[in-house]
Structures are given as C-alpha cells and as structure tokens.
Amino acid sequence: MTKAFMGVRLKTFREQQRLTQAALAASLKISPSYLNQIENDQRPLTVPVLLRLQAAHGVDLQLFSEDESARRLSEIQAVFSDPREPDAVPQAEAKVVASQLPAVAKVLLHLHKRARTAEDRLSSIADTDGDRRVGEFAPALQPYEEVREFFYARHHHMAMLDERAEQLYETALAGLAGAAGASHLVARLRERLQQQHGIEVRETAASRTSDQALRSYDAGTRTIFLATGMDPGQQAFQLGVQLAFLETGALIDSFTTADAFTTSQARSLARLGFANHFAGALVLPNRRFQDAAEALRYDLELLGERFGVGAETIGHRLSTMHHAPGRGIPFFFVRVDRAGNVSKRQSTGDFHFSRHGGTCPLWNVYEAFSQPGKILTQLSRMPDGRTYLWIARTVEHRRGGYGAPNRIFAVALGCDARYADRLVYAKGVNLVDPDAATLIGAGCKVCDRADCAQRAFPPLGRTLQIDENQRGFAPYASGM
C-alpha cells in the first residue's frame, strides 16, 4: 500500500470507537489537521500511519486492505452490470463504493443475492401447481458455494486453527523434517491417537473405503482405516484431519454454529474444511514452514522435498496460512481440470476469481495441460490494472490398479507483482515493462476487454454494435 485514500473508512472507525479527531490524532502521533485531511481524502493513509493505528488500537489491517477493495470491486461490478438493471453504474463510481464504502457494498451484495434468490424461487413456483411453499425451494447458492464464500470472508477463523496446530506440533511432534520427517510424523500421530484417544490406525485396500475415500473412521471399533498407496505426507494429513475433529471439535463447532448456514450439508462441509485446514497446518506448521519458504524463495520443489509433500499441498498451504503482520506473501491458489472446472480456490489475499462461470483461456493454468509436469510462469494484468505473477503446472492423482483412469489437474499459485522479486520464479521475468504482462480477465461475463481475441461472449449488461455486412465481426459470433 503506497498511496491509498481511505478517509471514509478511517472516519467510520473513529466514530465507531467514539474518538474525537484530536484523540485519534494524538494516538497516531500526527496533528488533528493532518488527520482531517486524511479523512477527507486530501492525503493518503500511509503505511506508517496504518501501523501506528494497529499498534495503538489493535486494528485488523484487513479493514484497510487494498486487496480487499479489489475483491469487493470485482463483486460489486457484477451487481452493477446486471443486464436486468436498466442503468449501468460507471466503473469510477463502483470503485468509490468498493474502496470507500465497504459496509454499503456489503449490503448491496446481500440485497442483490436475496433478490436473485427470490426471483429463482418465484420462477420455480410459476412452474408448479402452486401447492409447494416458497420455503421449500432451494437457495440460489449450492452448499459448496456457500461454504466457499464463508471461508473467503473469515480469515481470522483460520488463524486460530493455525495457532492450535502449531502448538500441538511444537509440544508433541517437533524435531521432524524432510521426507523421513513425514514418516516420523505419521508414527507420532499414530502414537498420539492410540495413547490419547484409544484409536488404532490400519491400512486397507480401496474396496474397504470406496474408490474415493482416503480415510474412514469406525467409531464402534475406534479404528481409522487409511487407503493403501498414500505417501507419508498424505497419511499424515489424513490422520491430522481425524485429530482435528477429536481435539479441536468444539472450536470448529463454534465457527460453524455461530454463523448461519442454510443447510446442514453446508455446515458439514464447513466442518470438514476447518478440519482439513488444521491438518495442513499440522503437517506444515506456520513458523517453520514460513521460515523455510523465505529461505528457499518459495521454490515448490525444494519445499516439497524438505517437508515430504507434493507441490499441490505446498501451494494450497501457502494460500491459506496465517501470517504475522509484515511477514509472508498473500498468495492465491487454484486447481482446475481440462474442462475448466475449478475444484479448489483459496487465498490469503484477494484475486478476481470468476463468480459467473468460466475463466480466462489466456491464463497460464490452462497452458499447463499442453506441457505436463513443466512449471510455467506468467506475469498477468487484470482489467483494473493490477499485475500478478502466476506459477502453474500439472499434477496427477493416481489411485487404483490397471485400467483405473488417472486424474490430471492443473494448479496455479499467484501473488501480486509487488512481491514477485521474493520468488525464485521471478528469475528472467520482466517485472518493469508494463507491456510485458499478459492481459487476462476474471471471465468473459465480467471482463470489459472488448478487443480480446479470445472473448467467447459479451460482458453482462453490454450491448453489441453489430455490422451485418462484416463477417467475423465478433469472436463469439459464428461466421464462414
């Protein structure tokens, strides 16, 4: 953050704390007139002032995050460009709402979601004989979508689990490293499950657990069954998930019951998501993993060798771990298949992930399928001018015997370009020339790059000017 004008947010915070300008200015070691200029956007909110605000008042820096504003802008733009609304909101005004009026943006997003849900329910009612009640119709969001939104907005829950997992690692499991360390970690986890909880761990063929389940728990016999064929890192993760339910179950339940979910399925998915996060933090504990990542310049292969896990696990952990102020890099992580389905989407920062179906074919995560196993780098720029460094590669999930299909995915790890020089993958990438970046978007429906050769259809709310005498007038029009 270099020149961020966030006067409204600072003034809102001051009023919520019932502080006068003079009192807040004194705590920040600036003059009241300087504070008045910040609140009226005549001066930017600088990093030194923001750090003093955190030190004096314990403010969550996320409240003043530019990344959070960027994420909110991408969401609010989809609302303002809804084709069912008669007037489009200019992007300049949308930026003001997203950056200066976060509470207003949140209410607008909530109202828009409620309106779309109501319309969907009414459409369903119109297609029936009228005997069913409105409440019987499913909400607009699927359970997994609801959970994904829940995690996206609640980084502090993850931080608490990170601390719990790290405490357990340091007190009971410390002194382990490398691939051999992963094997020792499995042995320690088995020992803890046996001694602390009276649970035995056994390996079993896929026929016992099913083709997809890697772990199953029989409460009657107090036995955990792990599918054969997993490496030590995978085994440690699965045992960590079970340990999360046993030792942090009350904390996880408090997260999922304090916030309302529309379905029990969504709540169950959220509980599993928290347990998975705890397991990841147990296998790759915060401080040890952070120190290693910095020392190795975030080299996925070297980190995988040190901790005995795969590149996908490393990327996933980097995109979900809690960082102390001033440490770590906010990463984004995504996993896709050949058809473009996004099966994982995680971040400690905020990237313009598509919420309207489809992603950008110019993104290097899709190029990875044409070069299996090779690490690809890409400097990309979004329509709002923000630039990112992305690393992409394919990964394979092999299970089963002869004839069983291999599951192939492409994973991508990205960060804002201002952090790129801390990554080994920036070597040879031109971070200075603004024209060196590939122009990508969050998906054709919300991307306003009209001259993009890969555009599949027009953006939401955009009317096309079509010349019938011109063949091939648009990439999404058929022609000879």
Q: Do 311 and 337 reside in the same domain of the chain?
A: no
Q: Do 397 and 445 reside in the same domain of the chain?
A: yes
What are the strands of the beta sheet with 215-218, ordered from one edge?
Answer: 200-204, 223-227, 215-218
Which residues constitute the domain of residue 74?
66-128
Q: Do 307 and 380 reside in the same domain of the chain?
A: no
The residues, any chain, with a CB within 8 Å of residue 28's CB and separated by 6 or more, are 35, 49, 52, 53, 56
Rounded Cα distance between 99 and 450, Å, is 25
CB 347 within 8 A of CB 330: yes
Q: Do 368 and 475 reside in the same domain of the chain?
A: yes
Rounded Cα distance between 219 and 151, Å, is 29
202 pLDDT above the threshold of 90: yes
Q: Does residue 101 fall inside a structural domain?
A: yes
The total number of structural domains that make up the chain: 4
Domain boundary among 269, 301, 323: 323
Write the pLDDT tens digit of every residue in 225-258.
998 888 888 999 999 999 999 999 999 998 888 6
Q: Name the residue with higher pLDDT: 89 or 252.
A: 252
Write the pLDDT tens digit of every residue in 334-376.
999 998 888 888 877 666 666 544 578 899 999 999 999 999 9
Q: Do 60 and 72 reside in the same domain of the chain?
A: no
Q: Does residue 118 fall inside a structural domain?
A: yes
Domain boundary among 266, 289, 323: 323
Which 8-state DSSP code applies to residue 171? I
Count of beta carbons in the 10 Å neighbourhood of residue 344 = 15
Q: How far is CA 477 from the centre of its chain?
A: 34
Q: Name the residue with higher pLDDT: 399 or 208.
A: 399
Q: What is the largest CA-CA distance in the chain?
A: 79
Please report the pLDDT score of residue 460 as a whole number.
61
CB 164 within 8 A of CB 278: yes
Total count of residues recorded for the chain: 480
Q: Do 185 and 254 reside in the same domain of the chain?
A: yes
List beta partners, residue 379: 389
Q: Does residue 351 fall inside a structural domain?
A: yes
Write the pLDDT tens digit of every residue in 5-43.
778 888 888 888 889 999 999 999 999 999 998 888 888
Instruction: Retrieve residue 400's tokens.
Output: 């089963």
Write the pLDDT tens digit of every residue in 107-163.
888 887 777 767 666 655 544 444 444 444 444 567 777 787 777 766 667 888 999
Rounded Cα distance between 249 and 230, Å, is 25
φ/ψ (deg, to 5) at 299: -75, 115
Q: Do 205 and 336 reside in the same domain of the chain?
A: no
Quote the pTM value.
Answer: 0.69
Cα-atom radius of gyration of the chain, to the nearest Å?
25
Q: Do 316 and 351 reside in the same domain of the chain?
A: no
Q: Does residue 133 fall inside a structural domain?
A: no
SS3 content of the chain, % helix, strand, coil (to 5): 50, 10, 40
